Amino acid sequence: MSNLESCPECGAPISDWLGGNCPSCLLRISREMVRGVAPQPAAEEAGQGTLAAQRQLGDYELLEEIGRGGMGLVYRARQKSLKRFVAVKLLLGGQNADEQARKRFRREAEAVAALNHPNIVSIHEIGEDVGQLYFAMELVEGRNLADLTREKQFSSRDASRLLKATAEAVHFAHQQNVLHRDLKPSNIIVDSTGVPHVTDFGLAKQIAGGGDLTLAGQVLGTPNYMSPEQADPKRGPVAEASDIFSLGAILYHLLTGRPPFLADSLTQTLRQVIENDPVSPRLLNPGIPRDLATICLQCLEKDPNRRCRSAQVLADELQRFLNGEPIHARPVSPATKLYRWCRRTPRLAFAIGCAAVLLTIIAVGTPVAFVRIDRGRWQAQDAERRTRQQLYHALLDEGRAAAFSGEVGHRVRALDALRQAATITNSPELRQAALGALRLPDLRFEREVESPHEASPDAVVLNPSFNQVAECLREGPVEIRSAAEQTLLATLAPTNAGNADHVRWSPDGTYLAFTRRTALGPLPWWLEVWDTKTWHCVLTTPSAAPRVVFRPHSTQVLATQRDGITFWDLEKQKPVASFLQTNWAAATNFEGDAHQLAFSTEGEQFAESSFDGSLSIVSVHRSSDGSTLVSAKVPSEVSALAWQPSGRWLAVTDFGGSVTLVDAANGERRTIGHHEAQAATATFSPDGNYLFTGGWERVLICWDMLSLQSSFIIPLDSFNIQFRNDGAECALAGESSWQLHAFERPAAHRQLPEPLGSNVRHAAFSPDGHWLAVAGFERLGVWNLHSTGPAALTAQGADDRLFFSAQNELFGCSDDEYHGWRILDGGRADSPPMLQELQIPQPSGFVSFCQAPDGVLMSSSLGSGLIDTTSGQTQWTPTAQGVSSSSPDGRWMGIFTPYSRVAHIYRLPELSLAANLTNRANILRVQFSPLGSEVAVVTASEFEFWSTTTWQRTRLLTNAVNLLYTPRANGLWLSRSYRTAGLYSAATLELLLPLPRGTLPLALSPDGRYLAVSSDAQRLELWDLFEVRRQLQALGLSWPEAL
C-alpha cells in the first residue's frame, strides 16, 4: 500500500491492489448485497432522522422502505397528483451528502431515464425537497431473484427464459451506451407475471463520451458476480463483456442455487474470480442440459473475447435452446482448459509440467527399462542356461570319456563328473552314463603307508586280513609290523645267509614263508616257513626256485626241488609227497625244471610250469598222486601262475609280456593281451571275476574274466598287487611304500560268467525268486540266487523258451520238444544247483506249454490241458492250436498260430473262449500284464495293447522288439532294438532309465528287484535294481517313478 488515503465513507485506508477501493466497504457491501440488503453508509444517520420525521417528499407520500441500494434508499410512495403508486429512491446522506455524491445521483437518474425498455425499470421524475435529492420510478410489484433462488430451484427452461429477457434488456442498455456493472440476482425483480426487470444502475457507466457514474475508487460490483476485469483492472477495461459475464454468473446461480465463485473471504472470492474456472454446473446439478451448461460457461470465460459477442447473442443462444435448436457455442476442449490454466498459474503449471514430463519419462522409460532389464535378465538367464548346458555337456562328456579311458580311477572320475552334472539337470542320458560307470571295477585311493626300510615290492607283503605286514631286510631279519601304526610286532632272525625275498602268507594267515638266495648248499634258494602264532620257524629246506605255495584248507606247502616238487606238512615238519619231473616228461613230452606253482581253490589240483630254455609247458596235476591231467605249451618262459577261484582258468604270464589263459579242464590256451615289457605277476580278485597282471614297465592291468578283455590299467609305478581276503581292499607295493585302495566292484551288478553260447535271449525267475534260468544257444544255466555259487549247466534246454511252474519246477520248450526239471540245492553255498529231469511224455502234435495256477498247461493238436507232471496224464479241452502263454494272475491264456494275426484268449481254469483279437500284423508273442488287466500282442513292427475288460485296443507302441512289465505294471522294460533298451513309464512312455548300449533285459524277478540282462547277446549279468536305484539316488540321479 502506498500514499495511504482514507475512505470518504468510513475513514479506513484505501487499497491500491483493489483499484483504489476501500476493502472494508467492499466487504460490507458484498455481504449485504448477497443477503439482498442495501448497505448503510456511515454518514446516513444524520439525514435519516429528518426523513423518518417527515413522510412527505414533494408530490410524493412515502409509505414504506422497500429496499436499499449502494447509493440510496428506495421507498414505496404514492404520487398525490396522479394518484398512483411509485418507487422513490433517495440519496443516502440526505442534506448532508457532498456535492460529488449529489452529482453522481443526478447522473444515474439521467442515464436510466434514457432507457425506455419493458424489462428495465423506468424513471418518472427527478427532484429535490429540503435538500434531499430523489427520483421517482416505476414501481414493480414482485420479488428479486435473490429471494426467489433461496426459496426454490429454477428449472432449466425457466432460468433460460428469465435470463433471455434480462439479456435483451441489458443489450438495449448497451445500445444506449450504458453499462450496468452490478448485475446480480438482487438487482433483477420478477413481477407477478414472471417478467424480469433490471434495476439499480448505481454503478452504471457511459460506454462512450461520458465518465464513471460512480466515484472512482469506490465499489465496482458484487465480487460473486463481477467479471475478472472488474476484480483486477490490469486485465483490461470494463466493457459490454463484463455485463455478459455477470449474466452468466446469474444463470449459473439460477441453475445450481449458488454463485459460480464463493469463498470464506472477500480476498479469496476475488482470487477465484481472477484465477479459477468455475465448476461445471452439470457437476452440481446433473439434470442441467449440456447445451445450457455450455452457454453458461461461455459467458464465464476469463477472456472477454471468448464470451458471447453481445447480450443479444446470449439471448439468441438461449432462444435456440428453448426452441430445441442447435446452439452455436461449443464446449471448451480439455486441451484449451489446460492451456488456460497454465496461463493463469504458470509456476504451478511449470512444476506440474516438469512432473508430468518426468512421469512421462518414467512411464515411457520404465517399461523400456523393464524391457531392457527383462531382455538383459533373459539374456543373462539364457547365457547362464547356455553356460550351464555347456557345463552339463562338458561334464557328461568328461564322465563318458573317463568311463572309457581304461585307466585306474575311471569309475571314480566318471561318477564324480556325472554327480556334478546331476546338479544341473537329472536326465536319462546321465543315468545311462552312470549305469555304465557303476558296472566298472575300479580302485579308489585310501591312503599311502611309508615303509621304514627300502625293499623290493616282492619283499613287502600284507597278511590276508591286512592288519600285519612282513618286510624282508635283505640279508637281515624279516620284520613283522602292524599295518596301521607300523608298530614292530616280531623280528624273524635269519637262519641262513642271503637276501630274503618272495614273501608269502598262507590263505588263513597262520604261516609265513619266504626264500633266501644263498651260495651254500646244493640249491640256490633256502625256504623258511614260520608259525605266525608263536613266531617260530617250522620249516627250513633248500629250494630250486624262489617259489612256494600253500595248499588251501590244509597245513601243507609245495616247494620246488632239483628234479621235481615236494609236499611238506608244516605240522609234522616233514615231506609227505614228492613228484619227480621225469615222471611227467613222458606225459607231457617235455623236459625242464619246475619254476612256477599254483593250487586250485580246493587244493585237489596243482599247476606247475617248466622251461627247457626256449619253451615252457604249463601242466595240471592231481594233488593226491601227481598225475598229469592237462598241459599247454607257452612260447616263452613263464613268470607267474595263478588259478581262478572258480577253477576254470589258469592265468599265465611270461617273459615275452603275454597274458595267457589256460583252460584247466582241457588245456586250451587263449592269449588275452600283452604288457609292454616282461609280464611278472598274476593275481585274481577273491571272487575270480578279475585278473590283475603286472609287468616290468611297472604297470598293472585289470582283466575282466567274463569278457576276457582289459578293464583298466594302473600306471602307479607298481607291478605287484595284493587283495584282502574279503576282496574289498587291495595294496600296491612300491620301493619304499605301499598304497591302499578300495576295490570298487559293480555291487549292484553280478556277473554270471558261465558260458551259455551266443544268442542269450530267454530267461525266467522262479515264483519264489530263488532260481534264475537262462538259455543260450549252446547251454541252459540255472543259478541259485541265494548263494554265490556257479550255475548248473546242461545242453538240454538250450535256446528254449523258459518258465517256472507255481511249484518252482523249470520248463523249457522249443518248436518241436519240451523239457522239465526239478531244481535242488547243491548242498553247499558254493556248489551249483542240481537239475533233476522230469520225465514227461510228449503227446502227439505238441506245440507249446505255459504256466497254470495248478501246474502246466500244454497246447497241442488235441487242444489244451493241464499236465500231471508226475504221471504225464492230461485232460484235453478243445482250443485253438498254437503257441501259448498265460497271465501271471492265472486268469487268462493266450494262443496264437505262428504267422497269423489272431490271438485267441481263454479264461482259466475252464478254458472257455473270451475273445479273438485281430491284430494288424503277424503275431510273434502274446504277453499279459502282472494283474491280467492288459494283454500285449507283439508283432514284427509294433505292440498292440488290449484291455481284458472291454477287449478293445487301448494303444499302439512302435519301434520295440521286446517287453517286460514291472510288478505293478507302472513301468515297462522295453527293448527298442537289439542294441538299445530301457525302463519307461507305462503311463507316459517317458524314458526313465536307459540301459547301456548293447544291454537288453531278459527277465524281471517277481518282486521287481532283480533284472537279468544280456550284454551283446553273450555276457549275462544280474542287476539288483534296488541297489542301482540307491546308488543313483546318491548321485542325485534317481528316476521319478518307482519300479
Contact 815, 792 (CB under 8 A): no
Q: Is the pLDDT score of 928 beyond 80?
A: yes
Q: Is the pLDDT of residue 610 over 90?
A: no
Contact 51, 93 (CB under 8 A): no
DSSP three-state, residue 683: strand
pLDDT at 312: 94
- For residue 211, is pLDDT > 70? no
- In sign, the C-alpha dihedral spanning 1014, 1020, 1026, 1029 is negative
Distance CA 167, CA 256 (A): 19
Residue 13 has pLDDT above 60, yes or no: no
| DSSP 8-state symbol, 769 | S
Average pLDDT over residues 566-570: 92
690-715 residue pLDDT tens = 999 999 999 999 999 888 899 999 99
Of 353, 329, 328, residue with least CA distance to 339: 353
pLDDT digits (tens, 9 = 90+) for 384-400: 889 999 999 999 999 99
148 closest CA partner among 193, 93, 185, 201: 185
Q: What whole-number percentage of the chain has pLDDT above 70?
A: 89
Q: Which pLDDT tens digit goes with each residue over 716-762?
A: 888 999 999 999 999 998 777 889 999 998 878 888 888 888 888 89
d(CA 701, CA 676): 11
Q: Would you state the cell numbers that stand for residue 939, as one nine-digit string? A: 508283432
pLDDT tens profile 996-1021: 998 999 999 999 999 999 988 778 89
Phi-psi region of 52 (alpha: psi -120 to 50; beta: other; left: phi over 0): alpha
Instruction: Round to whole Å and give the CA distance between 155 and 322.
Output: 12
Q: What does the pLDDT look like over 820-833, one tens digit per residue?
A: 899 998 877 778 89
Helices and strands per DSSP (H, E), number in the chain: 17, 67
Cα separation of 539 and 296, whole Å?
137
Q: Evaluate if residue 38 carries a pLDDT over 50.
A: no
Which pLDDT belongs to residue 18?
53
Q: Is the pLDDT of residue 144 over 80?
A: yes
With beta carbons less than 8 A apart as the criterion, state whether 154 and 162 touch. Answer: yes
**Cell numbers placing 463:** 597278511
- Residue 141 makes CB contacts below 8 A (sequence gap 6+) with 191, 192
Instruction: Give the residue, 419 or 564, on which the prediction is more confident.
Output: 419
Per-residue CA distances from 429 to 4, 399, 513, 830 (Å): 101, 11, 52, 38
Give the pLDDT mean for 242-249.
94
Q: Kindly list the distances between the CA atom of residue 785 and the CA atoms of 435, 744, 774, 915, 1009, in Å, as whole numbers in the listed order.
A: 22, 22, 13, 39, 12
* Each residue's pLDDT tens digit, 472-531: 887 788 999 998 888 999 999 888 777 888 889 999 999 999 988 876 666 678 889 999
The predicted model gives 332-348 an average pLDDT of 71
What pLDDT, on the 0 to 100 scale, is given for residue 468? 93
State the Rg of the chain over Cα: 63
Percent of the chain with pLDDT over 90: 48
- Whether 1042 has a pLDDT exceeding 80, the answer reads no
Model pLDDT, residue 994 = 94
Instruction: Give me the chain's average pLDDT, please.
Output: 85
Inform me whether the pLDDT recorded for 345 exceeds 80: no
Residue 606 C-beta-side C-alpha neighbours within 13 Å: 27
Cβ(420)–Cβ(395) under 8 Å?
yes
Q: What is the mean pLDDT of residues 801-822?
A: 87
Residues 6+ apart with CB under 8 A from 319: 164
Q: Confidence class of residue 869 from pLDDT cuts 50, 70 and 90?
A: low
First to last CA, the chain: 101
What is the band of 555 on the pLDDT scale with cuts at 50, 70, 90? very high
Residue type present at position 1028: V
User: Averaged over 268-277, what is the pLDDT?
Assistant: 88
Q: Find, among 549, 577, 555, the residue nearest to 564 by Cα.
A: 577
Q: State how far the alpha carbon of 379 is from the alpha carbons of 373, 418, 423, in Å.
A: 9, 27, 22
Banded pLDDT at 200 (limits 50, 70, 90): confident
Helix axis angle for 290-299 and 311-323, nearest 10°, is 180
Query: In the structure, what pLDDT confidence band is assigned to residue 543 with cuts at 50, 70 and 90?
Result: confident
Kindly tell me if the per-residue pLDDT of 104 is higher than 70: yes
DSSP code, position 155: P
Give residue 214's pLDDT.
Answer: 46
Residue 51 has pLDDT above 60, yes or no: no
Q: Which residues of 650-670 are buried (b: 16+ CB within 10 A; e: fewer)?
A: bbbbbbbbbbbbbebeebeee
Question: Which amino acid type is present at position 733?
Answer: A
Q: How confident is the model at residue 686 (pLDDT cuts 50, 70, 90)?
A: very high
pLDDT at position 23 is: 59
Would you say residue 550 has pLDDT above 50?
yes
Predicted local confidence at residue 612, as pLDDT: 78
Write down the pLDDT at residue 691: 96
Instruction: Supply the residues annotated as catalytic.
Output: 182
How do residues 109-130 score in pLDDT, each as one tens digit? 887 888 889 999 988 888 888 8
Cα 329 to Cα 315: distance, rounded to the nearest angstrom? 12
pLDDT at position 219 is: 39
